[in-house]
Structures are given as C-alpha cells and as structure tokens.
Amino acid sequence: MDAGITFAREQRLSPGITLSEEQIARLTGDIIWLETQTLTLTDGSTADVLVPRVYLTAKPGDLHVHGGLISAGKLAAGGAGSIINNGTLAGRQTVDLSADNIKNSGLIQGSKIRLRGSGVDIEGGTVSADTLLTVEADRLRIASATGNSGSGTDGRTETGRIAGLYITNTSDGLLSLKAGQSIDFTAAGLHNKAANGQTQIVSGGRINLDTAKLSSHSRQGGWGDKNRRRLTRTSEAGTQIKASGDILIAAKDNLDIRQGSIVSDNGRTTLSGRNVHITEGRQTLDLDQSVYGKSRGIASKQTSLDRYRRQHDEAVGSRIEGKEVVVRAEQDVNVRGSNVVSDGLTLLRAGHDVNITAAENTYSDHEFHERKRAGWRGGYKDGLVSVGAGKSSQKLNQDDASTGLTASRIGNTTGNTAMIAGNRLTTEAAVLASGGDILLQGRDVWLNTGHTASQSSISIQTKQSGVSAGLTVNPFDAAKTGYHRNMRGSGYSGSAVGKTIQRDDAAGKAVYAAATGGVSTVGHQKSSENRHSGGTRAAVTDISAQGSLNIIATGGNIRSEGAKLSAEGHALLSAAESIDLGFARDTAAQSGRRKRSGFSMDNREAVPFGTFNDRSEAQGSLDKATGTQLSVGGTAVLQAQKGDIDIVGSSLAARDDVTLSAGRHINIRSARNSQARSERQIGSGIGTAVISDTEHFAGWMKNRQDGSSSQIGRGKSQVGSLDGHVNIQAGGSYTQQVADVAAAGDINITAEHADILDDHNSGSSNQSGRDLKIGTFAKVSSPLIDLANAAEGAVKSKADGRTRALQTLAAGAQAYSAYHTSATGGALVKAEAGFGFKTAGSSQNRSQNISQGNVLNVGGNLNIRSTEADIRLQHTRAQAAGTIRLDSAADLTLEAGQSARASDGKNSSFGISAGVGVSVGAQTGVYAYAEAGGGKGRNRYFAQTHDGTTLKAGRIELYSRGDTALKGAAASADRIDTGIKGRLKNQTLRCTCARNWRARSLCGLVKNASGSASSTIRP
C-alpha cells in the first residue's frame, strides 16, 4: 500500500482509475492499487466499488519465458568450473551439484539436495528440499537481495527476493551447512519444518548472521524553504532461522548474531564459538519539518512558523529461543539488548567473561514556534469607543534529549537458568527470570545498573506594545468595569474595615473613569523565560527465581548496584572475597530564569504612568539512592570467606533464617540522599501599592527576596527474618549505622567488636529580603477603626471561651480608648499625606542536625558478643520478647545520640517623610508634619537534645570485662543481671535550649498645626 501511495504521488494519480500499459511500464516495485469495478448485487442493482489489485514487477530469479528450467528425476552436475543458476533446477528425487563455485539466484528444488564447492553463494535464491539439504564449502554466503524503488523525493530500499533454505517434510529432515572457513548470512531465511529434524550450521572459521540495511525517504520542499518536510527512516532486516527440532550453530572462530532470530519450537538451540556475540540492530528516524502560515485582515497581519526536528535511534534486539537453549564460548559470551529464553534449561557458559548488557536508545527532539501579529483595531467595549494600533510576538524554542535502554532478558518459563563464567560475570540493567533455579557463577559477579538520562531546555520570549485613543460614550459601563477591575487583587485584607475601604477606593476610581471623557493608553512589555531540567534514572538488574537463587564468586567479589533480587526458595550468595550489596543513584536538576519589563500609561488612573522591571531565578537538585533488594521465600545465606559483607542503603528479607558470615568485617549502613534549592527575585517599578488597609503608597519601589535550603537524609538498611533467626558472625568488626535488624526468632551477633551507631539528617535554610519605597505615603488612623477591627475579631474568633472573653474585654478597652481620646482632647480621625522614603530588610538562617538511630527488634532473644574489644550502642532501640544479652570482651557503652537545632535572624527599617495632615475630633484642623524613624532587631535560638538508647526485654544481661557506661540510656525488664569487672557509670544527659532577642527603635515627629480645639470636662 505504501508503495502504491508513493507511485500515485509521483504519477499524480487518483485511486479508482485503471492503470494504462504505459503507467504499468513505469512501475519499479510491487504495489497494491485500488481500481473501480462495477458489481451486481443480489437484488439486481449495481454499485461501483474500489477493489485492490496487485501489480508485480519482475525480479532477478523469477521464472519467465526467457528463463531456464531443468527438471529430472535425478539431477547431478559436477566439474572444475562454476555452476550459475538464475532459473530453476528441479530433481524429483535428488539434486547433486558439485563445482569450484556455485551461485544460485533462482530456485533449486528436490527431495534430497547436496551442494558442494569451494565457494557457494546463494543470493536472493531459494533451495528447497523435502528431507535432506546439505551444503559443503570453504566459503558459504547466503544473502537476500535488496532493491531500490521510487525517486529522489519518495523512495525506499527494501528486501527483494529472500535467500532461503527450506526443509518441507514435517516428520524427518536434515538441514546441514558446513564450511571450512566462513559462513555469512545476510537477511536470510532458514526453515526446517521436520518435527524430528536437525538443523546444523558448522564452520571451521567464523559464522556471521548479519542484516540488510533498509531505508525509506520522502522529501517535500528544499532545505531553506519555510514549508518543507523531509523524513528518512532506516531499519535492518535480520536473518531468521526457525526449526521444529534441534538447532546447532557452531563456529571455531567467532559467532556473531545481529538482530537475528533463532527459534526452535520443540528442540534444543545450541550456539558455540570462540566468542559469541548476540547483539541488536538499529532503526532510526530523521524528520525535518517546517510549516509557515500567513493571513491578512483589512488592517492587520498575522504569521505563524512551526519547525520540528526529530532524530531517534532505537535498538531492535536478537531473539534466541528453544525448548532448551545452550550458549557456549571458549572466551566471552556477550548479549546486548537481546533475549535468550527457553521453555526449560537456559545455559550460558564462557571460558572467560559473560556480559549481559542493555542497548542504548537515543532521542533528540527540537521544536520552534513563532507567532506574530500586527495591525489596527477599534470598536466598542466597556463603555468606550476606541481605535488603536499594536503588535505582539511570541517565540518558543524547546530542545529535548534523552537516552533509554533496551534490556537483555535471560531465562525460562519452567526450568533452570545458569550463567557460568571462568573470569567475570557482569549484568547491566538485565532481566533474569526463571521458573526454577538460577545460578550465577564467576570469579567475580557484578550486578550493575544502567542509567537512562534526559535533558530539556525551553526558551520563551514575548513582546507586546500598543497605543489607543478613545471616547467614553457610556459612563455607566465604564464605571462598572473600573469598579470590578479595582476590586480584584488590590491587596486589602478581608476584614470589615478593609472591605469597606476597598469598596470606597474602587468606587472613587470608578467615578474617575466614568468622568474621563477622552481616554488614551500606551503600553509596552516584554518577557523572557528559560527553563532547564535534566536527570538520570537507574535501570537496575532484576533477577527473580521461582526456585532457589545461587550467586557464587569463586575467586573474587559479588557486587550489586541496587539490583532487585528475589527467590521463592533459598538464596546463597558466596564469595571468596567480599560481598557488597550497594545502591544505584537517581539524580535530577532544574533551573529557571525569568525577566519582565515594561511601561504603561492610562489617563483613567490616579497615577497614570507606571513601569515595572523584575527578574527571578531558581535552581534545585535531587540525589537519591536506590538500594539492593533481596527477598527470599526460604533461607538466605551470605558468605564472604576472606573479606567483608557491606549492606548499604539496602534490604534483605527472608521467610526463614538469615545468616551473614564474613572473614573480616560486616557493615550494615545507611545511604546518603540529598536535595538543594535556591531562588532569587528582584523587582522594581513605578506605581501604587496598598501597604495596609489604611496606608497607600505611590512612587518608585524596589524589592529583593533570596532563599536557599539544603538537606541531607539517610536511607536505612534493613535485615530481617519473618519466621526464623538472624545470625551474624564477623571475623573482624560489626558495624550497624542507621539500620534495622529484626527477627521473629533470635538475633545473634558475634564479632571482634560491635558498634551500633547513629548518623544524622542535616539541613539548613536561609531567607532574606529588602524593600525600598520612594514617593508619596497616605494613611488614615482612628481609634474607631481599631475598635471595629477588635470587635470583629471577637465576633469571628474560633478560640475557646476564656480566650473569646479576653478578646471581648480587649474590644471593650478599645471602645473606652476611643471615648477617652475624645474626652481628653484627642483626634477621632486623622488623615496624612507626605513624601519620603522607607526601607526595610530582614534575614533568617536556620540549621538542624537530627540524630537517626537503629532498631533491634526480636521475637525471641537478642545476643551481642564481642570477642576482643568493645560493644557500643548509640541511639538504639533494642526490644526482645525474651532475653537481651550484651557480652563485651572489653567496655560496654550504651549512649544517646545528639540532635541540634539553631536559628539566627535580624531585621531593620528606616524612613523619613514630610507632609500635611488633617484631624477631626476635639482637635480639628490642618497641620504640617515631618517624621523620621528606624529600628532593628535580632533573634537567636539554639537547642541541643538527646535521643537515648533503650533496652526493653523480659530479662536483660549486661556483661563486660572492662567498664560499663550508660549515658542517656535506659533499660527496663522483669530481671536485670550484670557481670561487670570494671566500673559502672550511669550518666544523665541534659538538654539545652537558649533563646535571646533584642529590638531597638528610634522615632521623631515635628508638627505645626492650626485650627480649633474644644474639650469637655465630665464629673
């Protein structure tokens, strides 16, 4: 169908027409074409319908009137020269060909076929036998033909005739290929249908299963055109070998399989070579597209431009399957981005290394969008008839890049899986799954993680400007619009006083807008925004066994980077040196920057001219550990014969007993996680601001806000048995730090010395700000306003009865204050307006360091014994249903962890203003004033606390051959026994907390008043 569409575009044809002989002659490939035919229906009526018709072009090897056909009961040919077949060689019983060189691009067919030669080349040809097909050569090449079709604007490269070798008998059959030097496949097809058949491919040199490179392209427009589309796709066609019985592929040198498919339905698939490489092919996409549009109105113009660029490169893996699958190599077995699976046994064995890795996929995407508008506009809106001109533009530029992984999958559905390496066995982001047991064995066994990554950058730019002039023709609509505009987001509080003043202010501005007959506005603004984000995500190795899991390092180490391991049966991890159950990391980072600036003029506003200029930026980052997970349905045993066992930020859980045994040290520790952020905002401009319900400002202002924080946390390790015991034995030290160990039965820990320690989650933050205003300040003050606020607070309060009573008394006190002000000659209402400046600044720093402890939770007994040195428990909660026994060869210390919190802040303010005021009350009049004032303050806080160690059990036994010290520790039990050869120290730790603050202020006021005053004296 795609070829038919391409042909129609080239010839400018429409579906439904019948192709002429001239048009058929122009065909360069096979197509399906829709032609119109008239059908007679069952009721006698006729209908024209589109019917698909297939047009085939001749290919090399097709049988035609000029081709050759040789057919016989028995067909034999031999000689020292060459046999070249482009036609058909058919033997009803046998075909036996022997020559120095045999080349087949046609068809060889017979019940039994034998080909012998120094070089045998099957290119786009077919060899089909009933029960026997054997090929013997020094060099054997089987390659499918590819062909090009289409034109320079729309074309493709695709497979033509498939080079195929076939056994058609469904019962018995042998397909045998033997070469002394090399066997090369290119997109070939081999199929042995015999249920009891054998497929054997054996080379004294190399065997290479390669791919044919395919592509398609379409092009519209040139590279520089604004309207264009150029699309190119590439892919690969691999070799496919399929059999009902056994498949054997054996090379003395390397066996290379690229995007190959080797499948046995009911037999064993066996691959062998000096090195066996099972790898992926690639498929790519490259798109470049641009779409441009333009439209015009009577007095306006609008354009749009959209550009896209996509570049994708993806893996297409190989596929090895069978009832059983066996892969052997004298040196290395490498599987990348491919699947090796079976119904029963799956075995990979190498004399040197086994590497199971993931294939990488890359994606690069770019988008650009631009919109522009310009022109004149006019009309009626909100009581105003206006005409104006304006223009605007928006640009968006986005770049995304990412990498993904195509994992390798090894395993089976019902049997066992084994991977055995003479040197190192490495998995990276692999998936291993077995219906039975899994065995991983090598001198070293490394279970590594792969990583996917992503990066994204976005840039947005906007500009807008305009000018307009108009006349107010409907004052009512103009006032209504102005009122609602000023009621939205004006900065007033939600109190009754605030709402009243807000309504009055909005009403005044509404009246001003309605009274403005001629309206003129001018404005311009621009903004830019840049955002960037990126990160990596761990793709861990995933191993699951329905039976037992055995990982054996015969001469070195077992290392896991965040692997996910599970077994329904037992699990054994045994290393000659060390075992490291570690973690993988996920990272993320974001940053952004934004700028805005502009000005506006509107003669309907009290302050008709305003500007703004602000910018902000922010950054953030995250680093998180993903630990190894080992989940076992039976017993779990970890043995490090000469080295250490390290469990860091990871978990080990088993249904039955858990045993850790190391020749040196055992460490169960936490992993470190971190995050950080910072942000900054700076703004300035000319305009108005509502400082409070009763104070307004108009003029120039600038403010700045800065903030940052960072945190470091601990990701706990966990070791536990759901129904059994946990037994830990170290030849050296045992260290547990921010970890939990739990068992339904007993926990037994034996080491030279044992340290169970705390660690800390830490963090810090900083906030600072500064504000400056220069301009006109206007405010209203009155004890009546204070009375209204106090009364409203008492009515709306949700506090308890005593608190509400106190608030009611406070409202009463405000009422008395208002009365007293009037009675003693004070002013009931004052309004002031003046020019000056005010500046204020503040900063606050906080930090914390919080102790994170350990848990030992036991359904039976807890026994910790040191053979040479101390036992130390710090910030540990140990709880046992039975007995807790701590037996130290030296000192025994039970102590608390320590946490600290601190903060430090300061603030300052200063201002000078001068102006005039008016007062109403006992002293009514107008006055001039000048005032200056400032203040500063500081606060500090520090607290240090202790998180104690606690022992709780039915019975506690404490033994030490040295001193025993309890520092902020507690032990509770029905019975406590001690055996202390040194001194017993019991120390109580005190928490500390210190706060201090101070504030200073200075102000001065000078008044020069004129007016009237009156007083009333009451008995």
pLDDT exceeds cutoff 50 at 1015: no
Helices 496-515 and 475-487 pack at an angle, to 10 degrees, of 150
Segment 756-772 mean pLDDT = 95
Are 491 and 397 contacting, i.e. CB atoms less than 8 angstroms apart?
no
pLDDT bucket at 819, cuts 50 / 70 / 90: very low
In order, the DSSP letters of 187-225 are S-EEEE--TT-EEEEEESSEEEEE-EEEEEEEEES-TT-
CA 554 to chain centre: 37
CB atoms within 10 A of CB 642: 12
* 885, part of any domain: yes
Are 732 and 662 contacting, i.e. CB atoms less than 8 angstroms apart?
yes
Residue bearing the bigger pLDDT, 875 or 829: 875
Tokens 């311009």 map to which residue?
A: 524
Pairing state of beta strands 126-143 and 164-167? parallel
Q: The tokens of 898 are what?
A: 């320590």
Q: What pLDDT does 57 receive?
A: 62
E strand intervals along 853-922 = 854-858, 862-866, 871-874, 876-880, 883-888, 892-895, 897-921
pLDDT bucket at 41, cuts 50 / 70 / 90: low
* 665, part of any domain: no
Domain boundary among 38, 55, 72: 55
Q: What pLDDT does 913 receive?
A: 85
Q: What pLDDT does 138 receive?
A: 96
* Number of domains the chain is built from: 2
- At 470-496, the pLDDT tens digits run 898 888 887 888 777 777 756 666 666
Are 251 and 308 contacting, i.e. CB atoms less than 8 angstroms apart?
no
* 402, part of any domain: no
Question: Could you tell me which of 842, 1002, 1000 has the C-alpha nearest to residue 931?
Answer: 1002
Residue bearing the bigger pLDDT, 158 or 203: 203
Segment 294-300 mean pLDDT = 88
Are 367 and 322 contacting, i.e. CB atoms less than 8 angstroms apart?
no
Are 543 and 447 contacting, i.e. CB atoms less than 8 angstroms apart?
yes
Q: What pLDDT does 816 receive?
A: 46
- At 181-205, the pLDDT tens digits run 999 999 999 999 999 999 999 999 9
Helix (H) or strand (E) holding 27: none
Number of residues that this document lists for the chain: 1019
Domain boundary among 39, 55, 71: 55
What residues contact 830, with CB distance under 8 A and at least 6 apart? 780, 781, 782, 917, 918, 919, 920
Residue bearing the bigger pLDDT, 224 or 640: 640
Domain boundary among 34, 55, 76: 55
CA distance 373 to 466: 11
**What's the sign of the alpha-carbon dihedral 482, 488, 491, 492?**
positive
* 941, part of any domain: yes
Segment 335-348 mean pLDDT = 97
Q: The tokens of 725 are what?
A: 């015991």
The SS3 of residue 708 is strand
Helix (H) or strand (E) holding 511: helix 496-515
Q: What pLDDT does 813 receive?
A: 46
Helices 496-515 and 783-796 pack at an angle, to 10 degrees, of 120
Are 576 and 642 contacting, i.e. CB atoms less than 8 angstroms apart?
yes
Question: Could you tell me which of 934, 931, 930 has the C-alpha nearest to residue 910?
Answer: 934
Pairing state of beta strands 300-316 and 281-296? antiparallel
CA distance 679 to 362: 33
pLDDT exceeds cutoff 80 at 24: no
Q: Which residues constitute the domain of residue 44?
A: 2-55
Q: What pLDDT does 818 receive?
A: 46
Q: Is 704 exposed, middle or buried (0-12, 13-18, 19+ CB in 10 A)?
A: middle
Pairing state of beta strands 651-654 and 671-692? unpaired
Q: What pLDDT does 804 receive?
A: 47
Segment 918-928 mean pLDDT = 71
Q: What pLDDT does 64 receive?
A: 45
pLDDT bucket at 791, cuts 50 / 70 / 90: low
* 672, part of any domain: no
CA 678 to chain centre: 21
Pairing state of beta strands 609-627 and 645-648? unpaired
Q: The tokens of 338 are what?
A: 């491919």
Q: What pLDDT does 1017 receive?
A: 33
- What is the chain's mean pLDDT, rounded? 88
Helices 783-796 and 801-823 pack at an angle, to 10 degrees, of 170
Q: What pLDDT does 796 receive?
A: 54
Q: What pLDDT does 618 receive?
A: 94
* 636, part of any domain: no
pLDDT exceeds cutoff 70 at 66: no
Q: What pLDDT does 809 receive?
A: 47
Question: Could you tell me which of 345, 159, 310, 158 has the C-alpha nearest to residue 232?
Answer: 310
CA within 13 Å, CB half, 845:
6
Q: What pLDDT does 769 receive?
A: 93
* 347, part of any domain: no
Segment 670-696 mean pLDDT = 85
- At 236-279, the pLDDT tens digits run 999 999 999 999 999 999 999 999 999 999 999 999 999 999 99
pLDDT exceeds cutoff 50 at 345: yes
- At 93-148, the pLDDT tens digits run 999 999 999 999 999 999 999 999 999 999 999 999 999 999 999 999 999 998 88
* 146, part of any domain: no
Segment 218-223 mean pLDDT = 84
| Residue type at 718 in one-letter notation | Q
Are 562 and 626 contacting, i.e. CB atoms less than 8 angstroms apart?
yes
Percentage, residues of the chain above pLDDT 70: 88
3-state SS string over 977-1003? EEEECCCEEEECCCCEEEEEEEEEEEE
Segment 826-854 mean pLDDT = 85
CA distance 779 to 691: 9
Q: What pLDDT does 489 receive?
A: 59
| Residue type at 650 in one-letter notation | S
